[in-house]
Structure 1
Amino acid sequence: MGLDPGKETQHAALDKIRKRVIETIGRNMDLYGISLSTGHLYGLLFFADKPMTLDEMGSEMKMSKTSMSTGVRTLLDLKMVNKVWEKGSRKDLYEVEYDWYQTFTDFFDVKWRKSVESNMTVLRKATEEIEKMEKEYAEDPEMAEMLRKDKAKLRDAFAYYEWLDRLIDTFENGDIYKLVPKVPPREN
């Protein structure tokens, strides 16, 4: 027994809306370094009414279990998807993390903190090397001037990364939401 024609039309209209959202989310996930297909997977989980297995996702998206597994692993690593347990199920189940603020914060923290630390380490080392060279070339005005200018550039870059480090701290400790409050969810 199928749905009546009116319900089928309603479901088709809703599916069309969902597909448009999923497609857009998928296209824009490159901001997070996520492939289009993994972005689509996220969109599928976003609209799922219950946690899904890899088999269910693969069937729905017409993708192999290997592709699904790789996509889910990426989303798990970025904390955009959670593995959940369901009584009576032997298979792993996955659901989307609906706290988008936390998802962004986790992503921002992981990616940016790593970059900031790496850049600050290189800047410190370069500054130390330039300071050694300044002693070596103290009698060479042209080289001394180039070293002075480079050291100033490194100092400015380091100041920026210290600022960025503090910005990341505001995400980690939640102070960012004092500056830019979360928008409360709308009532249904």
Structure 2
Amino acid sequence: MTEPDAGSADEPTEDADEPAVRRAREEVIEAMARAAEVYGIKPSYGRLYGLLYFADEPLSLDRLADESDYAKSTVSTATSAMERYHFVHRRSIPGEGKKAYYEAETDLWHVFQQLLNQEVRSEVRIMTRALDEAAETLRDADSERAERDLQKVEKLQGVYEKADRALTVLTSSSLDRITDLFGRLRSGE
């Protein structure tokens, strides 16, 4: 009995799977573009992220422009924004000079943690500082209005204190640990 050839009808070849693979990949990339819109981000950002996500190697701006059919300026703007939010990383390739290459961050929990650490924690710091100063001013004032406003400010202080604690847990724990914790909370353990 002989072994079937690598390209026999019994075993699909990579080429035979290509149209199906391309369709599946495109479906996910289009979903990423639509998902970007949900967050008020241009769909081009989601599409470019998707192209990088499925790329086997870092891609240059030129290659991303070719593969996406977007202008190089659009690709440059998008990759800069995605880099700021940790969705992509800029890489240099030896022998390519200063030419920039990009690759997707595939650990989306890491991206989420970075966004929480940078953007949300920044908001918490700004608000905490303002609320502390306002509370001090209102405590020194002697009026009914100041007392009512102080109660509102103290309520907000409580919210931001809890938010800060939640941020600490979310940014210092793995996704598995967080989901395990939520699972135990739901089941009442």
TM range (shorter): 0.7 to 0.9
Separation in 2 of the partners of 1:24 and 1:64? 21
Matches within 5 A, 1:102-117: 102-117=110-125
2:128 alignment counterpart = 120
Name the CA shift for 1:162/1:31 in 2 (closer, same or farther; >3 Å). Answer: farther
2:77 aligned with 1:70: yes
Moved over 4 A (4+): 6-9, 30-33
1:56 alignment counterpart = 63
**Structure 1 residue ranges without an equivalent (≥5):** 1-5, 138-143, 183-188
Separation in 1 of the partners of 2:120 and 2:33? 22
Separation in 2 of the partners of 1:115 and 1:26? 27
1:157 alignment counterpart = 156
2:105 aligned with 1:97: yes
Separation in 2 of the partners of 1:11 and 1:128? 66
1:84 alignment counterpart = 91
TM-score normalized with structure 2 length: 0.78
Count how many residue pairs are aligned between Structure 1 and Structure 2: 168
1:50-100 per-position Cα deviation (integer Å, ceiling 9, x unaligned): 110000000111111111111000111111111123232232111101122
What amino acid does structure 1 have at the position aligned with 2:34?
Answer: R
Q: Percent identity?
A: 27
Separation in 2 of the partners of 1:176 and 1:15? 30
**Structure 2 residue ranges without an equivalent (≥5):** 1-12, 182-189
Moved more, 33-42 or 59-68: 33-42
Alpha-carbon RMSD across the aligned residues, in angstroms, is 2.3
Q: Residue 109 of structure 1 contacts residue 171 of structure 1 at CA under 8 Å; is this kept in 2?
A: no
TM-score normalized with structure 1 length: 0.79
Q: CA deviation at 1:172?
A: 3.1
Q: CA deviation at 1:15?
A: 1.7
1:16 alignment counterpart = 23
What amino acid does structure 1 have at the position aligned with 2:29?
Answer: I
2:169 aligned with 1:166: no
> Which one has more relative contact order, counting CA pairs under 8 Å at least 6 apart?
1
